[in-house]
Amino acid sequence: MTIKAIYSKGVLKPLEPLPLSENQTVELSLTILPETTATFSSLFGKFPQLAALTMDDFLWAEQQFSGTVEKQSRLLDTLN
C-alpha cells in the first residue's frame, strides 16, 4: 500500500483514511517528495489535499489562469 502523508510536529498524518485497526503495528518505508510539494507547507494544515499536488498541477493552473486578473481589469475599465 502506498499513501501520502504530511509530517507535522513530529507526527505523520495520512491525507486519507487508512484501512487499519486501531493500534495496529505497521512497517513504513519513506520517500521524501520533491521540494515543490513542501513549499506550501503552511497551507497543508488547513488543506491537506494540497500535499498531493505536483509541480505539473501548479503549472497547469498557472496556464489556465494566466492573465485572468488583467482581462477582468480591462473589462471593468470598459464598463466605467
Give the model's pLDDT for residue 37.
47
> In this predicted model, what pLDDT tens digit does every residue of 25-70 receive, in sequence order?
999 999 988 765 445 556 666 777 777 788 888 888 888 777 777 7
> In this predicted model, what pLDDT tens digit does every residue of 11-32 receive, in sequence order?
888 888 899 999 999 999 999 8
Alpha helices in 22-79 (DSSP H): 35-38, 41-44, 55-65, 68-79
Give the model's pLDDT for residue 44.
63
Which amino acid makes up residue 46? K
Give the model's pLDDT for residue 15.
86
